[in-house]
Chain A
Amino acid sequence: MRGATHVKWAACAAAVALAATACGGGDSGGGGGGADGIVSSSWGDPQNPLEPANTNEVQGGKVLDMIFRGLKRYDPKTGEALNMLAEKIETKDNQNFTVTVKDGWTFSNGEKITANSFVDAWNYGAVLKNNQKNAYFFGYIDGYDKVHPETGKASATKLSGLKVVDARTFTVKLSQKFSLWPDTLGYPAFAPLPKTFFTDHAAWLKKPIGNGPYTIDKYTKGSSMNLRKWDDYPGDDKAQNGGIDLKVYTDNNTAYTDLTAGNLDLVDDVPASQLKNVKSDLGDRYINTPAGIIQTLAFPFYDKNWNTQGAIKVRQGLSMAINRQQITDQIFQKTRTPASDWTSPVLGEEGGFKKGLCGKECTYNAAEAKKMIEDGGGIPGGQLKISYNGDTGSHKEWVDAVCNSINKVMGNNKACVGAPVGTFADFRSQVSQQKLHGAWRAGWQMDYPLIQNFLQPVYYTNASSNDGKWNNKQFDDLVDKANAESDKAKAVSTFQDAEKVMVQQMPVIPLWYQNGSAGYSENVTNVSLNQFSVPVYEQIKVK
């Protein structure tokens, strides 16, 4: 019976292996928060390395917001661009700016922040060979075309528009007049960088060092990051808690489930499917505030079927066939607001938001909608396909609902269908390579709270995010005119005139303004979201 003993041995080996791993993995503590004023919060794995000029999505942005402070900072409540590290930014001609950096600021490793900390960082961000995905933010600075040419090799390694005057002063020359340029400096890409970023880049990436209210204590890529309060932080917005533990979740449903089970203190993205029970789960520990995000349906103007006079009527008709109120009520449980212009309520009336600007073209009207679509020659190709990426977000739910709404109006259950694309990357490459011939989900999250940011980058001829390639001279002229306007109120009303052109042309259909939603545990108080729908971490208090 030699074999039998072998079997027994094999079973023991398995048991031993199991016990060994049990010893290896059993003793480390679990998540949860509360101890020493630490807040645990949901996170997603940042897509790019955590360099300031290379981070273009909200998950990496969260971290940068905690560990960096730039020249300006947007007030978490009003969105106003306030001086942070900038003592003053002066200009006489709206093209040449002189920046003076405040005294007394250091990085968390003790290094003094000087004019060079900014100039070096901006040069790094702009230069082509560093592959910084937000390089275009430096595009207004003179000499950008030399360090970051559209094609070919860069002919310079430094922006000629940046000049250090002394330890605390530097000058910026723009390639064109841009009166509101200082207000864009709150964007994380403009953050200062310490010397070690350049001298020991790999080590910096492993554990980034900045000048914000938090320092990174431990960073396990792909799974968690522990940030701790920086006690010597020189700013006024000191952290009110001991630190933040960010924990990566692949599925925001799991994060929400963890919050309700008491394993997590803060979830900053409550999934649509949980909205119905969020009140009963969390009571008033749920916040829902407007954020600078608008969702739209975009159309391909490179496809001649969509670029006709009739197609304008069709798009207007489609816009009127979407029952926005019902969808935001049922699918999003009122966490989104039906859109009636192309900006966002966070701008405020003064900033250029105008409720109802779109008028009847953005109001549900089944009979009129059907007539308009038929008058315009019907949907090109007979069927509207709405493409979206099926991997993240709750896109499937609302696209299906939009289609059902259109189908009901048209009395044809195949008039509109959702067309999911497997991955976000593939979706984006189909959009940018102009492979789509129906509508697709589009949206805009503001970079800075200006009406210009909601219109120019998205709808101006050949603008960087004008994926549908819509072009309209009247619109472009009005935007140019608004940019040259030095009086803010006039500039805003000119931008709104440009929006009125869009009502007549309906290049994209505005759907709804997105709110930021978050839920938090009983351990924490004073939780709020800023206008970029990122939690204001440093203000959170732990009970």
Chain B
Amino acid sequence: MGRYVIRRLLQMIPVFFGTTLLIFLMVNVMGDPIAGLCGDRQCDPATAAQLRTEFGLDKPVWQQYLTYMGNVFTGDFGTAFNGQEVTELMGTAFPITIRLTLVAIVFEIVIGISLGVVTGLRRGRPVDTAVLILTLIVISIPTFVTGLLLQLLLGVEWGVIKPSVSPEAPLNELLIPGLVVASVSLAYVTRLTRTSIAENSRADYVRTATAKGLPRRRVVIRHLLRNSLIPVVTFIGTDVGALMGGAIVTERIFNIHGVGYQLYQGILRQNSQTVVGFVTVLVLVFLAANLIVDLLYAVLDPRIRYA
């Protein structure tokens, strides 16, 4: 087990460098960020040249990347164009997004899995069909449409929620945005659980358990659910990273000042320091989540042993 974890951690190193390099190159391809700093007029050439030197933009890309990574390892994620340290931005943005992600994941787990279990046990019944159609509709409508609609209906027309989230982003204001972020994944989790439950409910060990005369509740929770959760856990695990970085659209609609907002702002201003810094952290989160998921397998499936 320990050796396996170490091996996995070592494998993260090339992935980490690869991703940061990739995103660094992508942001660089976007062109000269200095031109955008002077509004609708041209920067005077002397100031522009000096800004370029100061941000290291006059050096070749590989050198910029090496300098940047060197700084990152000393904990210096650089400075955004508005003079703010990127670490400071992260300090305000990540707690908000983590809260949003947690809300989303709780929705996925609670609603997704319960709907999945119900439909999986009642395959072909009206409940199953209704939920199936509902999840399909959720998947087929883009998130921004769902978000805008909910904001308009709940926030403006019916006045149930505040249409935007205040800068402190308390948990109760994040419920609807969290639901929007979770919506598509929620639908996947439901379908995934349903399939898994339906399959496993015919497995021999379930029949055995039922034949032993165990109460149905116990069979479902102890035997069926535990085995059916493996794919669901995988999905939710890989989803954590995607949720944190993928909330760009939702955070924009509900004016949440989280990671997605900072990334969007960073991209619009072509601020490579911000974008690369945030993505670096997201990649680490993603890799860690993957590792945890793999370790969870061992817990859920006794047949898997890590050497």
A, B in one complex: yes
Residues of A within 8 A of B (CB): 1, 3-4, 6-7, 10-11, 14, 17-18, 21-22, 24-31, 45-49, 56-57, 128-129, 131-133, 135-136, 148-151, 205, 220-224, 247-251, 254-255, 257-258, 260-261, 263, 391-392, 422-433, 442-445, 457, 464-465, 467
B95 within 8 A of A: yes
Q: Which of B39, B151, B296 has the most CB of A within 10 A?
A: B39
A457 — which chain B residues lie within 8 A by C-beta? 41
B155 — which chain A residues lie within 8 A by C-beta? 257, 261
29 A-B pairs with CB atoms under 8 Å apart are: A3-B226, A14-B106, A18-B171, A21-B95, A21-B99, A30-B173, A46-B82, A47-B269, A48-B81, A131-B54, A135-B47, A151-B45, A224-B167, A249-B164, A254-B151, A257-B152, A257-B163, A258-B255, A260-B156, A263-B164, A425-B34, A426-B30, A426-B31, A429-B36, A430-B31, A431-B35, A432-B43, A442-B40, A467-B42
B242 within 8 A of A: no
Contact B30 A422 (CB under 8 A): yes
Q: Shortest Cβ distance from A424 into chain B, in angstroms?
A: 5
B191 within 8 A of A: no
A250's contact among B43, B83, B84, B252, by CB below 8 Å, is which?
A: B252
Q: Is the interface of B mostly helix, strand, loop or mixed?
A: helix
In the complex, residue of chain A having the shortest beta-carbon distance to the beta carbon of B30: A426
B63 — which chain A residues lie within 8 A by C-beta? none
Q: Which B1-52 residues have a C-beta within 8 angstroms of A?
A: 30-47, 49-51
B255's contact among A10, A18, A149, A251, by CB below 8 Å, is which?
A: A251
Contact B106 A18 (CB under 8 A): yes
In the complex, residue of chain A having the shortest beta-carbon distance to the beta carbon of B36: A425
A261 — which chain B residues lie within 8 A by C-beta? 155-156, 159, 162-163
Binds A, one of B127-135, B181-189, B256-264: B256-264
A18 — which chain B residues lie within 8 A by C-beta? 102-103, 106, 171
One digit per residue, 1 when the CB lies within 8 angstroms of any chain A CB and 0 when it does not, for chain B 113-136 equals 000000000000000000000000
B143 within 8 A of A: no
Q: Shortest Cβ distance from A408 into chain B, in angstroms?
A: 29
A430 — which chain B residues lie within 8 A by C-beta? 31
Q: Shortest Cβ distance from B86 into chain A, in angstroms?
A: 11
Q: Shortest Cβ distance from B154 into chain A, in angstroms?
A: 10
Given A56-B41, A250-B251, A429-B34, 6 further pairs, Cβ under 8 A = A7-B229, A31-B167, A222-B84, A248-B167, A263-B164, A425-B30
A11 — which chain B residues lie within 8 A by C-beta? 109
Contact B168 A28 (CB under 8 A): yes
B98 within 8 A of A: yes
In the complex, residue of chain B having the shortest beta-carbon distance to the beta carbon of A152: B46
B300 within 8 A of A: yes
Residues of B within 8 A of A (CB): 30-47, 49-51, 54, 81-84, 88-89, 92, 95, 98-99, 102-103, 105-106, 109, 151-152, 155-156, 159, 162-164, 166-173, 222, 226, 229, 251-255, 257, 261-262, 264-265, 267-270, 296, 299-302
Contact B229 A56 (CB under 8 A): no
CA distance A311 to B166 in the complex (A): 53
B37's contact among A27, A48, A422, by CB below 8 Å, is which?
A: A48
B102's contact among A17, A250, A464, by CB below 8 Å, is which?
A: A17
CA distance A429 to B258 in the complex (A): 28
A248 — which chain B residues lie within 8 A by C-beta? 167, 255, 257
Contact B40 A425 (CB under 8 A): no
Q: Given A25-B169, A391-B268, A423-B269, is A30 in contact with B257 using a C-beta cutoff of 8 Å? A: no
Q: Given A3-B302, A45-B82, A250-B255, is A133 in contact with B37 using a C-beta cutoff of 8 Å? A: yes
Contact B38 A428 (CB under 8 A): yes
Contact B166 A30 (CB under 8 A): yes
CA distance A30 to B165 in the complex (A): 8
B88 — which chain A residues lie within 8 A by C-beta? 221
In the complex, residue of chain B having the shortest beta-carbon distance to the beta carbon of A281: B156
B264 — which chain A residues lie within 8 A by C-beta? 250
CA distance A57 to B39 in the complex (A): 6
In the complex, residue of chain B having the shortest beta-carbon distance to the beta carbon of A49: B83
Q: Shortest Cβ distance from B32 into chain A, in angstroms?
A: 4
Q: Shortest Cβ distance from A291 into chain B, in angstroms?
A: 14
A151 — which chain B residues lie within 8 A by C-beta? 45-46, 49
B43 — which chain A residues lie within 8 A by C-beta? 133, 432
A427 — which chain B residues lie within 8 A by C-beta? 36
Q: Shortest Cβ distance from B28 into chain A, in angstroms?
A: 12
Q: Given A21-B102, A205-B83, is A423 in contact with B40 using a C-beta cutoff of 8 Å? A: no
Contact A136 B44 (CB under 8 A): yes
CA distance A509 to B270 in the complex (A): 30
A21's contact among B41, B163, B171, by CB below 8 Å, is which?
A: B171
Q: Shortest Cβ distance from A208 into chain B, in angstroms?
A: 12
CA distance A132 to B47 in the complex (A): 7
A222's contact among B92, B252, B255, by CB below 8 Å, is which?
A: B92
CA distance A220 to B83 in the complex (A): 13
CA distance A465 to B35 in the complex (A): 13
A6 — which chain B residues lie within 8 A by C-beta? 299
CA distance A56 to B41 in the complex (A): 10
Nearest first, the 7 A-B pairs at minimum CB distance are A425-B36, A429-B35, A49-B83, A428-B35, A223-B167, A28-B168, A465-B41
Q: Which of A46, A258, A467 has the most CB of B within 10 A?
A: A258
In the complex, residue of chain A having the shortest beta-carbon distance to the beta carbon of B151: A257
B46 — which chain A residues lie within 8 A by C-beta? 128, 148-151
